Structure 1
Amino acid sequence: MKTVSDREEFAGWVSPHLAAMARLAARLAPDADRDDVVQEALVRAWLKRHQFDPQRGTPSARLLAITADQAGKARSRASRRLAPVPNEPASANHDDDLHLRQALDRLTDRQRLAVDCVHYVGLTVTETAAVMRCAEGTVKSTLADARAELRVLLEVAE
């Protein structure tokens, strides 16, 4: 009888979620190296793999929560070392993207995490609640507040 090593089992456990982890890392820590953030999250997940309880959430939610934590740490480190970049002339489409990025940056961290999880990573409200470690109703109200804030911010930008 062939046994599966811890490493192979872990690899099989995380593989389906790597793309979502990378998308979330890129959204939450745009100035950090996405692959570094994912790698740090994987190391953390490996170290705490025996603490996972499937009754408390899905592997996806667990891994994305760890990724969100690591992305926050990476963003904090990056903000301390980055110098401002001068503005460059841009096309109209680039201007729209810039306005959206600037509006997203003005959201609270919690609002931005909810928006990123649902709209950029494609998680459900239930999965987002697990990542954010809160109730589904809290995610819904956070998303509603974020959308209202974005509506105002983007109208002002136009």
Structure 2
Amino acid sequence: MGIRDGRLVAVAYTGGEPAAVSFDDLLAVHWSMLVRVAGRVSPPGMRDDVLQEAVTLAWRRWDTYDAERGSVRSWMIAIVADRARRAWRRHRVWHPLSDDLHVAPADSEIRADVERAIAALPARQRLAVQLRYYVDLPVAEIAEVMRCAAGTVSSTLHDARATLRSALGDEYR
């Protein structure tokens, strides 16, 4: 992939010329997005633990990153999503409201209903909804994170919206 000299771990191409970039620099560029993703997909109170595990794993597995399979950002988001999924398995208790919610309905009762409905979705649908509507990732990048085709993401989101409409009823349309 590139230079493996201490903290220099990547080669960024700008104008066709390679330039050494440190892992810390890559992390700094994507940090706010990773925090948003972890805040959305992690069990309550576990965002920082998920981030720490994800960053540690990304550092250890940097040599597995393949630029042909997607961007560094998508690769890092996929690691955060995986660590959050594992945290949910350990956590096994659902608390419907998250302090880290960035986009939410104004009314707390509606917010709670929407959060419960999202929590009841199958894991793939829940991840797609959270990444699209709460983290605001484009469908193509969600496809990279979920390692599937963009059409699969669109279909997953369609199915999730149908399930949410059914669960929430006419009053939320």
Normalised-by-shorter TM-score class: 0.7 to 0.9
RMSD over aligned Cα atoms: 2.4
Which one has the bigger helix percentage?
1
Q: Which residue of 39, 44, 60 maps to 1:31?
A: 44
Matched, 1:74 2:87: yes
Q: The residue matched to 2:153 in structure 1 has which SS? A: helix
Matches within 5 A, 1:116-155: 116-155=130-169
User: % of aligned pairs identical?
Assistant: 39
Gaps of 5+ in 1: 86-91
8 Å Cα contact 2:75/2:145 also seen in 1: yes
> What's the CA shift for 1:31?
2.2
TM-score of the two chains, using structure 1 as the length reference = 0.85
8 Å Cα contact 1:99/1:157 also seen in 2: no
Aligned partner of 1:54: which letter? A
TM-score of the two chains, using structure 2 as the length reference = 0.78
Pair 21,84 (structure 1): closer, same or farther in 2 beyond 3 Å: closer
User: Which of 1 and 2 has higher RCO (CA within 8 Å, sep 6+)?
Assistant: 1
Which one has the bigger strand percentage?
2
Aligned partner of 2:76: which letter? L
4+ residue runs of structure 1 moved beyond 3 angstroms?
82-85
Gaps of 5+ in 2: 9-20, 97-105
**Equivalences, count:** 148
Partner of 1:10: 23
